[in-house]
Amino acid sequence: MTLHETQLVAYAAGAVIHGTLTVLVLKLYRHTTGADRIEAFERVAVCLAGFFWQFGNLWEKSGMFHPIIGEVMWYSALVTFPFLLGNSLNEPTYGSRTATLLTGLGRALRYPQAIFTLLAIVSMFQAVFGANPLFDPNFAVRITLNMMLFYIVLFVILGAIKKRRLRSVGDHPSIYANRMILLLMPITAAMCIVVLYYPGALRANASWLELAAGMMSIPSTIGTAYRLYRFPFMDTFVRETLTGIVLLTAFCIGLSTGPQDHWWPLWIATLAMAIAVARAPLSRWVERTFLGYTESAEQQEERVGAAIHNLRDLAEFDENAAATLRKEMEADWVRIVIEPASGAAFSVPIPESPQLSLSFGPRKHARPYMSRQWQVARASALQIAAQRQRLKREDSERRSLVEKHELQEITAKAQMRALQAQINPHFLFNTLNTLAALIDGNPEKAEHVTENLADVFRYALDSTRKERVTLDDEVKFLESYLAIEKARFDTRLSYSFDVDPAARSLSIPPMILQPLVENAVRHGIGQKIEGGEVRVSARLDAGRLTLRVEDTGAGFGGERPGGVGLTNTRDRLRHAYGDTAEFRIERLEPEGTTMVITLKP
């Protein structure tokens, strides 16, 4: 790569950098008022002068157009730099008398410098059009470089004074901006010194020094723009620009000093690999040194994500997540709200929760949110959405588990109540009295009653340890129960079963039909002198099981029949099947009651 090609690449990169800065500061100018607007206008002028300086050099060196136009551009930009630098001295001095005096001196010199700039531009145009200039343009260049050197040294001195003051007030953004000025401005000052006071070195390395001098506007302009620290992506711009400048310089030097023989392709590949390897650590160094980021964006996102993931309380999740981000972003406040909060600096929607947004209030020390904060905010919104969904799912599972335990407890209590209903003293005494009457008169029937009573007790005890039984087992239990009642009521009670064979293997809660049968016997048949019949049926139709208990007893009046047994049945069905189960009680005509359970097994 020849020196001329290197110059073209460098001036093109410089023009792009200055042009980008000009657009950024111009946007700032359009959205400011008062003193801030004046400051922004001065920064626009500095960046625009840098753009014309770089673009003029590119125009002149390219040879594609008339070189005089490029010369006019870079010359005009050069002689205006001292005046513009003088106007940039408008920052607070933090109570330092030395800084106040130096700032006043620098701003006072801008007035004669304005006159000199105007005369220098007029002299340049006179020389271009063949007239006798007011003074030699080369003399104007030397005066300009001396004035630039003065202002650069002044900026370095003020930066050293401000460094101590900025640390005392804790203005971290200005600390890093000031650090950039302290590092970049001496580079420009060194170039001015070489050009002005070491002409021998200039003659020996004219082309290289010319290129270095042509690029010296970049450090000062970047430092000047960075002091504003107001663009959302200024941190990205500074990182990528400084990293790119160093890598581009290294690449150009490598191409110019490398071998030109058959080793050339290998040398190019080596340079490319070296730049690729060096880019990441160089970018991290720029972030630590000039932006104050002690960790990479990925590391910060991972750390914030871990903090959000460790929040386990759903009820306080939004508040705790907002507190975590408020500390991380150094914001006055952070809120998770349905609509973007009023007065928010910016808001980020939370995915999977379109009605929620993450709103960030102003940052401390009136700092803007940079691209790093935007990146972390967007990543945090994703992490918040994921953790919210996870906590909601865990809460739902926890509630489901609690409901399951409650159901098991209710079922166990219901089964115990059902058991108690079967072995209550009335049932037991009635059965024992029946046995006493049968032992002498009909010992064979007494034996059958005893066997049926044992079956009833055995099934009732087993049912307390099971959540489900087959319909066939339930029917056999009811047959034993009704056989005992038949022995007591004799001809006043008759019963029958009509069970669909396909339904016998289906599972149901144990003793779910016993309260219905008991109610039919006690309140239906028992209340009617001539007695009646109890009919138990089961039908399976379209995946729905219908269980029916009918009696031709006394029926019921205006009130629906109730009691502990029937209430227990309703509760058990609701907890076992939810809304898919139905329990209803109806009158039979001309007399009697029917109780129907419909469920999906």
What domains does the chain contain, in order, with CATH numbers?
3-231 (1.20.1070.10), 234-293 (no CATH), 298-396 (no CATH), 423-599 (3.30.565.10)
Question: Per DSSP, what are the bridge partners of residue 359?
Answer: 335, 347
Long-range contacts made by residues 288-292, C-beta under 8 angstroms, separation at least 24?
289/176, 289/179, 289/183, 290/176, 290/177, 290/179, 290/180, 290/183, 290/226, 290/238, 290/239, 290/242, 291/176, 291/235, 291/238, 291/239, 291/372, 292/172, 292/173, 292/175, 292/176
Residue burial 400-416, b: 16+ Cβ < 10 Å; e: rest: eeeeeeebeebbeebbe
Q: Coil, strand or helix: which one is 316? A: coil
pLDDT digits (tens, 9 = 90+) for 332-359: 899 888 877 788 888 888 886 667 888 8
Give pLDDT, residue 81.
82
Tell me how far apart the alpha carbons of residues 107 and 86 are, in angstroms, rounded to a whole number: 5
Report which of residues 181 and 68 the model is more confident about.
Answer: 68
Q: Ranked by mean pLDDT, which of 37-51, 71-85, 483-497 comes out on top?
A: 483-497
pTM: 0.50
Give pLDDT, residue 461.
78
CA angle 482, 487, 488 (to 5 degrees): 95
**% helix / strand / coil in the chain, to the nearest 5?**
70, 10, 20
Question: Beta strand 507-508 with 493-499: parallel, antiparallel or unpaired?
Answer: unpaired
Burial class, 377, CB count within 10 angstroms (exposed 0-12 / middle 13-18 / buried 19+)? buried
Tokens describing residue 453: 């009573």
The residues near 406 (Cβ < 8 Å, ≥ 6 apart) are 575
Tell me how far apart the alpha carbons of residues 85 and 564 are, in angstroms, rounded to a whole number: 94
Is 471 a residue whose pLDDT tops 90?
yes
Lowest mean pLDDT among 71-85, 209-223, 382-396, 430-444: 209-223
Eight-state DSSP code of residue 559: S
Give pLDDT, residue 178.
65
Tell me how far apart the alpha carbons of residues 535 and 513 are, in angstroms, rounded to a whole number: 12
Give pLDDT, residue 462.
79
Is 372 a residue whose pLDDT tops 60?
yes
Mean pLDDT of the region 178-205: 65
Whether residue 524 contacts residue 555, with contact meaning beta carbons closer than 8 Å, is answered with yes
Mean pLDDT of the region 48-56: 83
Is 188 a residue whose pLDDT tops 90?
no
Report which secondary-structure segment, H or E, holds 15.
helix 3-30
Ramachandran angles phi, psi of 511, nearest 5°: 60, 35
Tokens describing residue 317: 């999740």
Report which of residues 569 and 367 the model is more confident about.
Answer: 569
Mean pLDDT of the region 217-245: 69
Q: Coil, strand or helix: which one is 88? A: coil
Is 231 a residue whose pLDDT tops 50?
yes
Give pLDDT, residue 533.
93
- The gap between the terminal CA atoms of the chain, to the nearest Å, is 84
pLDDT digits (tens, 9 = 90+) for 382-424: 898 888 888 888 888 888 887 777 776 666 666 555 555 545 5
Tokens describing residue 17: 């950098």
Average pLDDT, the chain: 80
Lowest mean pLDDT among 161-170, 280-289, 531-540: 161-170
pLDDT digits (tens, 9 = 90+) for 252-277: 677 767 776 777 788 888 888 998 89
Is 125 a residue whose pLDDT tops 60?
yes
Measured CA to CA in angstroms, residue 108 lies from 85, 112, 293, 431, 526 at distances of 12, 8, 38, 120, 118
Ramachandran angles phi, psi of 595, nearest 5°: -120, 125
pLDDT > 70: percent of the chain: 80
Is 558 a residue whose pLDDT tops 50?
no
Give pLDDT, residue 90.
65
Tell me how far apart the alpha carbons of residues 348 and 356 are, in angstroms, rounded to a whole number: 9
pLDDT digits (tens, 9 = 90+) for 481-526: 899 889 888 889 999 999 999 999 999 988 889 889 988 988 889 8
Mean pLDDT of the region 316-337: 89
Give pLDDT, residue 181.
67
Give pLDDT, residue 549.
95
